[in-house]
């Protein structure tokens, strides 16, 4: 069971790494924030899987914290998405 949960965590981690490509490529700032959302949810999933795999319930608190703060950060980011059409270089 532990191995399976770790394997699932690895898989989600790989997906997060792929999500990074969208941060680099953009093109709009909103696309980058989408990627942050994906990586936030992925991070929560990884932490929950790790919590179950290592039998450490305290890790769930980190996941809870992450869920809260990721939302906060996305809101802060969206505040600064420019309404202009100035393209952002990567």
Considering only residues 27-66, where is the footprint of another protein by CB under 8 A? 27-50, 52-53, 55-66
Distances (CA, A) of 68 to 21, 34, 45: 24, 16, 14
Task: Give dist(CA 52, CA 45) in Å, integer.
Answer: 11
7-26 residues near another protein, rule: CB under 8 A: 7-24, 26
Min CB(16)–another protein separation in Å = 7
- How many residues bind another protein (CB under 8 A)? The answer is 85
Question: Token digits for 80?
Answer: 């600064």
Torsion angle defined by CA atoms of residues 6, 11, 17 and 21, in that order, rounded to the nearest 10 degrees: -170
Min CB(48)–another protein separation in Å = 6
Min CB(86)–another protein separation in Å = 10
């Amino acid at each position: 069971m532990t191995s399976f949960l770790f394997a699932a965590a690895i898989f989600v981690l790989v997906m997060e790494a792929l999500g990074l490509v969208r941060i680099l490529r953009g093109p709009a700032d909103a696309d980058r924030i989408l990627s942050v959302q994906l990586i936030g949810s992925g991070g929560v999933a990884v932490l929950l899987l790790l919590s179950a795999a290592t039998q450490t319930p305290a890790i769930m608190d980190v996941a809870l914290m992450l869920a809260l703060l990721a939302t906060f950060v996305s809101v802060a980011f969206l505040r600064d998405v420019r309404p202009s059409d100035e393209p952002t270089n990567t």
